[in-house]
Amino acid sequence: MANTARVKASTQKFTEIIDIVDSIVLLDGGYACIVIEVTASNFALLSKKEQDTKIYAYASLLNSLSFPIQIIIRNQRVDITSYLKNLEELEKQTKNDMLATHIKLYRDFVHQMIKVNVVLSKQFYIIINYSSLEQGATGATQNAKKGETAKAAFAEGANKSLSSKADTLLSQLRRLALSAKILEKDELVKLYYNIYNQDNLQVAQAADDMGAAIVKTKASG
């Protein structure tokens, strides 16, 4: 029991996460943060004019910031074994010979590609941080209302500050023609779970997305 307690305490200290309230992650030491998920943009496929527009808009975003941000790019290996099996089943089931031939060619292409390349799923996040010192030296504890815990008061103060910062950042991201959203509690719990348990997980979402495309093609054929 003693060893179990030590391991649990060590893990909790490592994560530094006290609680998640709506979209606000409450951290140890009087800190909090908000996580914004941003879609990717293939810069190499843009024209020279579009690339220049992106660069100027990104420079404008950086120059407009009055608070620090953290940009995280998360890479995960994707196991597409099940995706290849689905393609094989679709090839056998389709009654359209031409479509079956194209599915086989595509399956062979994917099979050869994964022999020389690692298939990765990429997610992009922007983190905005908050410190209780932004409310003064005594932080949220001094501002707690009657019947309200210091934790709730801190979460309220963090929410006001982070929401304002997030609105500013989201408006700049729209100028970059990027889709972005603030992660809510359920999404944050899933994200942090995947981060701290990534050695035990297999990423299937990318394979599911690719599978949806081939199913749609099959239906239209």
Instruction: Return mean pLDDT, the chain.
Output: 77
Per-residue pLDDT of 99-152, as tens digits, reads: 888 888 888 888 887 777 777 778 899 999 998 887 765 554 455 455 457 778
Query: Looking at the predicted structure, is the pLDDT value of residue 84 above 70?
Result: yes
Residue 46 corresponds to which amino acid?
A: L
Comparison of pLDDT for 151 and 49, the residue scoring more? 49
First-to-last alpha carbon distance for the chain, in angstroms, is 61
Query: Looking at the predicted structure, is the pLDDT value of residue 196 above 50?
Result: yes
Q: How far is it, in rounded angstroms, from Cα 127 to Cα 132?
A: 17
The pLDDT score that the predictor gives to residue 137 is 56
Residues in contact with 83: Cβ distance below 8 Å, sequence separation at least 6, in sequence order? 110, 207, 210, 211
What pairs with residue 120 in β-bridges? 77
Percent over 70 (pLDDT), the chain: 76
pTM of the model: 0.68
